[in-house]
Amino acid sequence: MADDLVHELPEATRLALASAGGNRTQWLTFFALDARVGGYVLGAQEPLLAQMRIAWWRDELAKAPSMRPQGDQLLDAIGSETEGLRELLDGWEALLAEAPLGREGLEPFVSGRATAVQGLARRLSVKHLEGAGTAARLWALADLAFRLPDESDRQLALDMAEGLTMRSPALPKPLRPLAVLAGLSRRALARGGAPLVGDRSSPFVALRLGLFGR
């Protein structure tokens, strides 16, 4: 299962996953769901089809694990650990609206990913969640600044991130993958919305962040 799900991940989350240690399964499951649903949205030729796929996930995650269909490796891996995942789905779905999305279209995605990350942090017994939320918002905005097709929305994502880039919350070791993503995001935003892994130095930066968290 693990190898199949890793292949679905963007390069940045694959690099971040390398620092997950004993929490690899939890982080891989979260990253894989984020990537799976993001693929529906960012590659959508027919928004209605993407909405139907997201609705399927929303419906299945609302069920007890014993009541779900068997055979989807990712759905099986999620099990009963669903805190924050509905907000993640809702946030991705908000990006299907007609561009320009504006702040009211971007904020559900940003806050949804932050809520989902905080839910994962709780499952990893992390007590102080503010730093996790800030780092997740930074990651979300860096993704938007690079991946959205509308130039005004990309600029808005950069503007929304401006205050966050000056804050560098220390994250506990169970959240080391998030520290990697926050660091890569800060670099990408400083370069005007570049890819998170956008130059030859990026893997080495990810390695340093994975080892030391800074």
> So what's the pLDDT on residue 198?
85
> So what's the pLDDT on residue 213?
83
Q: What is the pLDDT of residues 11-36, one digit of tens each?
A: 999 999 999 999 999 999 999 999 99
Using a 10 angstrom Cβ sphere, with 0-12 exposed, 13-18 middle and 19 or more buried, the burial of residue 203 is: middle
Is pLDDT at 163 greater than 90 in this prediction? Answer: no
Which residue's structure tokens are 């991940």? Answer: 9
Return the biggest CA–CA distance within the chain. 47
Task: List, in sequence order, the alpha helices (H) in the chain.
Answer: 2-6, 11-17, 24-42, 47-61, 73-78, 85-94, 102-123, 130-147, 151-161, 176-190, 202-212
Q: What is the pLDDT of residues 32-85, one digit of tens each?
A: 999 999 999 998 889 999 999 999 999 999 999 999 999 999 999 999 999 999
Is pLDDT at 168 greater than 70 in this prediction? Answer: no
> So what's the pLDDT on residue 87?
98
> So what's the pLDDT on residue 4?
86
Which residue's structure tokens are 């693929």? Answer: 39
Query: Mean pLDDT throughout 153-166?
Result: 90
8-state DSSP, 196:
T
Is pLDDT at 1 greater than 60 in this prediction? Answer: no
Residues spanned by the domain of 140:
2-212
Give how many domains the chain has, as a whole number.
Answer: 1
Q: What is the pTM of this model?
A: 0.95
Q: What is the pLDDT of residues 98-152, one digit of tens each?
A: 999 999 999 999 999 999 999 999 999 998 899 999 999 999 999 999 999 999 9
Q: 24 or 213: whose pLDDT is higher?
A: 24
> So what's the pLDDT on residue 47?
93
> So what's the pLDDT on residue 128?
84
Query: Mean pLDDT throughout 159-164?
Result: 90
> So what's the pLDDT on residue 172?
95
